[in-house]
Structure 1
Amino acid sequence: MHVLDLFFGLTVRGPRFFADGWGDRALCDASDPAALAARPPARIAPALGPPHEMLGGRLSEGTFESPEALLPACARTARFRLLLPDGPLAGIAVHLAASGDQGFELRLRFAAPLLAHGLGALVLENPYYGARRPPAQVRHAVRCVSDLVLLARATVDEARALLAWLAATYRVPVGVTGYSMGGQLAAMAGAATPFPVAVVPVAPSCSPDAVLRDGVLSRVADWAAIAGGAPVDAARRELLARFARFSVRALPPPVAPEAAIVVGTAADGVVPPSEMVRIAEHWGCELRWLAAGHVSAVLREQPAMREALRDAFARLGAVHARRAAVPVRRRARRCARGTDGTAPRTSSRASRHPA
């Protein structure tokens, strides 16, 4: 464990999560990642404001109605920022928030250097964060377990919808990335998208129970409130079992796992590094290690994270090139057979010539 992670765990202060207990237990029991992934991405029609120059590119503000109907009224309108380069556009990545990242600025500043490589960024505000936060909630400490379930479910659904909208609107390769909690939700959104996307989860957990089970943040939950008078150990086991179901491994690998790179933090004391291994092994994709902890990676390793995103988009470009070549080869084979479906009368040497 990196010393900064240990210091972070010892000094972190703030409101406890789940102070109101379980909330809607039926919703917690019914939430199934596989069922979510089986649905096609929701169709959205974002309202996009005029762009203005910022961070070396063109920044627009956008909103759309969340496809998650069970969100509270304050969270139903999703907000995002879209940062595009002034020059040619090579791709756009959706950037999902880490736990506590309630604004847009941190992720926009992370994404800005990628503009020089033609990569734009769409930065989404999580449900229950920022302007989408319920009045009784203090910062990012959701009041009950079902709020966190809805946050995760809605973020994955919104990210999938945005990926489909970006691909259809801008006709460029698209991808999704995020750090920590954002990394896990990015992994799930990428795996649940029915077309090839670049997927770069950074310091992700495979399922959220790992952070509450073993990490330095295992005490952020209000276990007594969750227990509601029952034995705390039993309530803890039940919650961890519920959270373990919301796992990246509950979904199949992404459509193009060759365009996925899991970026692991080898000295992480918040998310166990074994969680990153679980995702990469399930997907059969590259696992790229950073010699850093959860906190020090954010401070020192952002260039390496950007490099992973560039590499994933380059690989996705190769995937698109191969797919585009398939119809061309099929048309060439049909032409070689003639309009009546029979092979044309040519020499055997000519008939073997590659199209």
Structure 2
Amino acid sequence: MVTVNLGMLHYILDHVYGAFMHRTKMSPPFFSRGWGGTKLELLERLISQLFPEVEGQNWPPNLIQPIWRTVWETKSACLREGVFRTPCDEQLLGALPPESHNARVAFLVPKLVPPPKMACVVHLAGTGDHTFERRLRLGGPLLKENIATMVLESPFYGQRRPMLQRGAKLLCVSDLLLLGRATIEEARSLLHWLDTEARFGKMGVCGLSMGGVHAAMVGSLHPTPVATLPFLSPHSAVVAFCEGILKHGTAWEALREDLAVKEAVMTLEEVRERMRNVLSLTDVTRFPIPKNPNAVIFVAATDDGYIPKHSVLELQKAWPGSEVRWVTGGHVSSFLLHNGEFRKAIVDGLDRLEWKESLL
């Protein structure tokens, strides 16, 4: 009788899914148009300015004024969608495609208590999450805990996707850095709006996979304690594109040819090393420790084919006081089956924060 290791099945499922999504010719690979030229140089400079963050630097962020419309409303809850001009500065705005200049959010709020006695969590998008629905389903059951959900549509995704981009396959390496930098600015502005305009008593930020990396960055840079909840996420994009499954969906030859225009002919290994250097800018261990690391809870999968265990543990080590919770499964299966554990982490992270002094 042959016994099958369940963990291995989860790991294999990740690779089968990855092969279907990233090795077939159903869509072009990531970065089929190369590095991004001068945009990449701009983004490398702007991102390096994020850390180490000087106390008070870049705070408060630019004010946003969302224009809201009600999608549906009951006696106990309300779902609204809002649009606002991205708060990115002129340099970032000039680099963003025109389709990404206006940001969209969905805002699911319980109505039975006033905002100062409620919490709200900003949910950031993982790779390929173009709509609000997935994250609204994650946050919906938290209404009974008096926790509101705000879902940000990422630049380059959904209605903000550039005309020439197919699906989630970004055209240039610079687009990945630009997506992240703009997401950080928008999420920080949303947290500031929730604090100063909506007057929520507690706040948090979460995300799955790539969204978890961005959530960790936002929580790191926020000047006051927020619950920081990265789910199924690495400490750096290097892990995903240079070590994990996404390396099979990357246009390495196009990247090599793009470099060869300026430099001598390079080997693919030299191109991969260049990618590692560029994506080291996304290494969250280089960011400041969040103001309340006890309110940082990572949820990671035991048999993740995309995110190795060592990557999760590197960030926990860099942020003493943070917690890692393990769920049984791979990247895909955990994403589908463990929403209950993600919700519990959200609740527990918020419970580790103090209410605003004005409420005491």
Q: Specify whether residues 180 and 155 from structure 1 end up closer, same or farther in structure 2 by C-alpha distance, changes over 3 A only.
A: same
Q: Does 1:104 align with 2:132?
A: yes
Q: How far off is 1:34 after superposition?
A: 4.7
Q: Specify whether residues 54 and 217 from structure 1 end up closer, same or farther in structure 2 by C-alpha distance, changes over 3 A only.
A: farther
Q: Is the 8 A contact 1:55 1:109 kept in 2?
A: no
Query: What is the rounded CA distance, in whole Å, between the counterparts of 2:169 and 2:109 in structure 1?
Result: 32
Query: What is the rounded CA distance, in whole Å, between the counterparts of 1:127 and 1:312 in structure 2?
Result: 27
Q: How far off is 1:241 after superposition?
A: 1.2
Q: Does 1:4 align with 2:13?
A: yes
Q: How far off is 1:243 after superposition?
A: 0.1
Find the counterpart in structure 1 of residue 220 from structure 2.
191
Q: Which runs of 4+ in 1 moved over 3 A?
A: none
Find the counterpart in structure 1 of residue 50 from structure 2.
35
Q: How far off is 1:324 after superposition?
A: 6.8
Find the counterpart in structure 2 of residue 233 from structure 1.
269
Find the counterpart in structure 2 of residue 22 from structure 1.
35
Return the TM-score normalized by structure 2: 0.85
Find the counterpart in structure 1 of residue 85 from structure 2.
65
Q: Does 1:117 align with 2:148?
A: no
Between 77-86 and 11-20, the greater mean CA deviation after superposition: 11-20
Q: How do residues 148-227 of structure 1 correspond to structure 2 at under 5 angstroms?
A: 148-171=176-199, 172-227=201-256
Find the counterpart in structure 2 of residue 49 from structure 1.
69
Query: What is the rounded CA distance, in whole Å, between the counterparts of 2:106 and 2:225 in structure 1?
Result: 23
The one-letter amino acid paired with 1:193 is: H
Aligned with 2:79: secondary structure? strand
Find the counterpart in structure 2 of residue 338 from structure 1.
none
Query: What is the rounded CA distance, in whole Å, between the counterparts of 1:57 and 1:324 in structure 2?
Result: 25
Query: What is the rounded CA distance, in whole Å, between the counterparts of 2:120 and 2:217 in structure 1?
Result: 18
RMSD: 2.0
Q: Is the 8 A contact 1:42 1:160 kept in 2?
A: no
The one-letter amino acid paired with 1:250 is: R
Q: Specify whether residues 225 and 55 from structure 1 end up closer, same or farther in structure 2 by C-alpha distance, changes over 3 A only.
A: farther
Find the counterpart in structure 1 of residue 123 from structure 2.
95
Find the counterpart in structure 1 of residue 164 from structure 2.
136
Q: Deviations over 1:251-298 (max 9, x none)?
A: 111111111111111211111221111111111111111122101101
Query: What is the rounded CA distance, in whole Å, between the counterparts of 1:55 and 1:267 in structure 2?
Result: 43
Q: Is the 8 A contact 1:257 1:283 kept in 2?
A: yes
Return the TM-score normalized by structure 1: 0.86
Structure 2 gap segments, 5+ residues each: 1-7
Structure 1 gap segments, 5+ residues each: 329-355
> In the comparison of the two structures, how many residue pairs are matched?
323
Q: Does 1:84 align with 2:109?
A: yes
Q: Specify whether residues 255 and 299 from structure 1 end up closer, same or farther in structure 2 by C-alpha distance, changes over 3 A only.
A: same
Q: Is the 8 A contact 2:220 2:290 kept in 1?
A: yes
Q: How far off is 1:10 after superposition?
A: 2.5
**CA radius of gyration, larger in:** 1
Q: How far off is 1:227 after superposition?
A: 1.0
The one-letter amino acid paired with 2:105 is: F
Q: Percent identity?
A: 35
